Amino acid sequence: MKQQREFYAVTDVPWRPSTPGVEERVLSAQDATILTRIARWAPGTDTSEAGVIRHEYVEEVYLLEGDLHDLTLGRTFTAGQYACRPPGMPHGPYRTETGCTMLEVRHPSA
């Protein structure tokens, strides 16, 4: 189970490196597949080398700031947009010119 956390200042959680061009603040986690985090993508981040992404968990993403361009779909997503991806759903790769910040929740499928 994720640890119990009552209200606290998210800014007290330090940013740490995640993947190239991405930093994260893990707010609550059990492991890498069950977590809540804020991810911050640096301007110019491009995940083309990783190719299309698939996960074995449900991934929910809410864009808080900036924009994220899906290279496969040819679409740009902006602040205020949300995605819910079931296990195995292909997505990406991505590029962001301006950078972006997102809230991400990962959990197993029911």
Q: What is the pLDDT of residues 63-76, one digit of tens each?
A: 999 999 999 999 99
Task: State the Cα–Cα distance between residues 21 and 56, nearest whole angstrom.
Answer: 23
Domain annotation for the chain: domains and CATH numbers: 36-107 (2.60.120.10)
> Quick one: pLDDT at residue 32?
87
pLDDT (mean) for 63-92 = 97
Which residue type sits at 67?
Answer: D
Mean of the per-residue pLDDT values for the chain?
95
Q: What is the pTM of this model?
A: 0.92
